[in-house]
Amino acid sequence: MFIYRHTLKLHETDAAGLLFFSHQFTILHDAYEALLEKIGYSFARMLKKTDFFLPIVHAESDYKHPLFVGDRLMIEVRIGQIGTTSFSFLYSVRNEQKKIVGSGKTVHVTINKKTGKKIPLPASLQRALKQWV
């Protein structure tokens, strides 16, 4: 499991100081980017040096407890499934007391940058992802 830490910022909240719903996706995406960077597939590298990209084709998120400005969060990221052309990430959002306060899932498909068509996951990316199952 990969762990990403985040402190909830003012701009991520609504007028009541609570996490604004869409920002949970932003935080999950930040965790996703951090994990990709850790395994050698940063967005900068993919944009400049590979012929593929990994768009999100499905995203879901649940809110289990209110979150406020300054709350320190721990986002746990696991691989859900690895298929031929796609994979999924599962996210658990925990507060400082380690209580699950949110969760999410994203499904990513591998596409050829030029054609936009699905392609098989590169073997090296598959191997890198499998260490987080």
CATH of the domain at 63: 3.10.129.10
Q: Which is catalytic among the residues 14, 30, 51, 62?
A: 14
Whole-angstrom Cα distance, residue 101 to residue 66? 7
The structural domain count of the chain equals 1
Q: How confident is the model at residue 131 (pLDDT cuts 50, 70, 90)?
A: confident
- Dump pLDDT digits (tens) for 27-58: 999 999 999 999 999 999 988 999 999 999 99
Domain that holds residue 123: 2-130
| 30 flagged as catalytic | no
Q: How confident is the model at residue 78 (pLDDT cuts 50, 70, 90)?
A: very high
Q: What is the pLDDT of residue 95?
A: 97
Average pLDDT over residues 78-84: 95
pLDDT reading at 108 higher than 90: yes
